[in-house]
Chain A
Amino acid sequence: MNQAEVAKLVSKLRIKVPPQPRKLRNIQGPQGRLDKLRKTVTGLIKHERIELNSNRADEARQYAERLISEAIRHGDCHKPTMDIADYWLLEKELVHKLFKVLVPRYENFDKSYTRMHKAPRAMNTRNQEKAVLELRGNPYPSLTNKQASNRQLIQNILLDAAKYDYRQSKYLEMAEKMGKAEDKEAGTKAEAVLESNDKN
């Protein structure tokens, strides 16, 4: 089977997927790990924003992305997809949410369906790193504050004015250079005319 056909079989995720699954240590072994991840994925689909340890968040995120992308790809009449949803969602009413709420929300998305933020951690502690995992398009207020594009912010006004000044000074320099070049050209032409007159 060549590469192109694999891409058709498995939907490509829009997040970085490490080649090896992460080993989340658990007393029950691999089954315990999966149980924990199922809990997390269920929580994410239910609450749309959760805070947890960073490594478990990253691992659960991959499964949640895969689940949503499968649901979008195959819809709710596809037996294997239904099985996957049934396995990953411990609360069965969330299966309805997945197909009736999340699939319409993410159908035309060109970004990943989930988002992970680093959460703050108390200084000088040895606690694990925390993360906030959320579904995009959730109803909560935004966690980040991206205002770089807001031209009315005072920083941007000052930067724009500085850029404008810089550009004006460059234009002036260029104009001076061009003026000098023209003067030179005019000078050489005049000399040439004089020389030709002398010859005649």
Chain B
Amino acid sequence: MKRHLTHLSKTILQNSSSKTLPLSRCLSTQEAIERRHHLFTLEKKRQVESVGRIEKIEVRYKGVPKDCTLVMNKDISSPYDCARHLSEWHADSNALALIDGAVHWDMHRPLSENCTLESYSSTEPQAVNKAFWRTCSFLLGAVAARAFKEDVTVKLHSFPGPDIRSGSFIYDVELSLPAWSPAPRELITLSAELVRLCRRGAPLERLEVSEELALEMFVDNSHKAKQIPSIARTNGKVTLYRVEKHVDISKGPLVCHAAQVGRAAVAAVHRIIGNFTIISAVGRLLLDVGLPHRPPVVSVGSGLHPP
């Protein structure tokens, strides 16, 4: 199975033409996920190898326990690596890095220049909040892609920008089920999948790929394939994120790892048009937002089943 997939993706990479399209169209959802994961791995490996000679950069860290200067590898080391030099607590709890006091940078995105690095200040958490909400949507998509049986085709569409005041994060999914309204038990199952994914705490890896490769990756998903050209219009690059084996497009930034999303539950599924199904979920209030400090919050009953 694995060898077959490797072979398949290699041929796709080599040819990158429409010859393989019919082949990949008949992939099941699970196989498509595997294939995307494999392509992501290959591309990441290629990008790391293409760095070539390793150069050093100086990263000036500001914050607890004390300011210091770290010498890191250019285009390889990420803020996460810097945090691991400091302490386990830094690596676990930081959600975003603040580069040069202005840019919000993913923890797993390699640094390319000399810069200052700050861990996130909890007095102005707007950017972290947004990243957190985006991550919730992203993880919901990962759950939706995997939770259904083999015979149900799941096509992820996209997720809207973070709107925290609405209290719910959303992912739009096309399902091949004609009329599906989930029973309460099914919702609980979806919630449990979401919580399990969060608990495993896989890192959210970031990768910028070219438009062609992105199209190859999402060849089985007509919605994503339509979106990619408009996303890549600005600089010809598409930003992808991966959690475990699930690869998806997102503008980013996302938080450091899935375990920073505390507790969340899938609250409702709304059908919009035809076979389109919006799955919207309401995040519960027990959130480990991954700020440097984790304020204690009492979970407030909101009519949801505890996940």
Seen from chain A, the residues whose Cβ lies within 8 Å of a Cβ on chain B are 141, 145, 147-148, 150, 152-155, 157-162
B98 at interface, CB cutoff 8 A: no
A157: chain B residues at CB < 8 Å are: 129, 164-165
B26 at interface, CB cutoff 8 A: no
B165: chain A residues at CB < 8 Å are: 157-158, 160-161
Min C-beta distance of B1 to chain A, whole Å = 42
Is the beta-carbon distance between A158 and B64 smaller than 8 angstroms?
Answer: no
Assuming the contacts A152-B126, A154-B287, asked whether A145 and B295 have C-beta atoms less than 8 A apart, the reply is yes
Interface size grouping (class) on chain B: 20 to 34
Is the beta-carbon distance between B132 and A154 smaller than 8 angstroms?
Answer: yes
Closest Cβ neighbor of A153 among chain B residues: B125
Q: How far is the CA of A147 from the CA of B121 in the complex (A)?
A: 12
Q: How far is the CA of A152 from the CA of B164 in the complex (A)?
A: 11
Is the beta-carbon distance between A158 and B125 smaller than 8 angstroms?
Answer: no
Is the beta-carbon distance between A162 and B167 smaller than 8 angstroms?
Answer: yes
Contact with A along B115-128 (1 / 0, CB 8 A): 00000001111101
Assuming the contacts A147-B122, A159-B285, asked whether A154 and B164 have C-beta atoms less than 8 A apart, the reply is yes
Give the top 10 A-B pairs by smallest Cβ distance, nearest first.
A161-B165, A145-B293, A154-B129, A147-B295, A155-B297, A157-B164, A152-B125, A154-B289, A161-B167, A158-B167
Is the beta-carbon distance between B295 and A158 smaller than 8 angstroms?
Answer: no
B166 at interface, CB cutoff 8 A: yes
Is the beta-carbon distance between A154 and B64 smaller than 8 angstroms?
Answer: no
A160: chain B residues at CB < 8 Å are: 165
Is the beta-carbon distance between A150 and B132 smaller than 8 angstroms?
Answer: no
B141 at interface, CB cutoff 8 A: no
A155: chain B residues at CB < 8 Å are: 285, 287, 295, 297
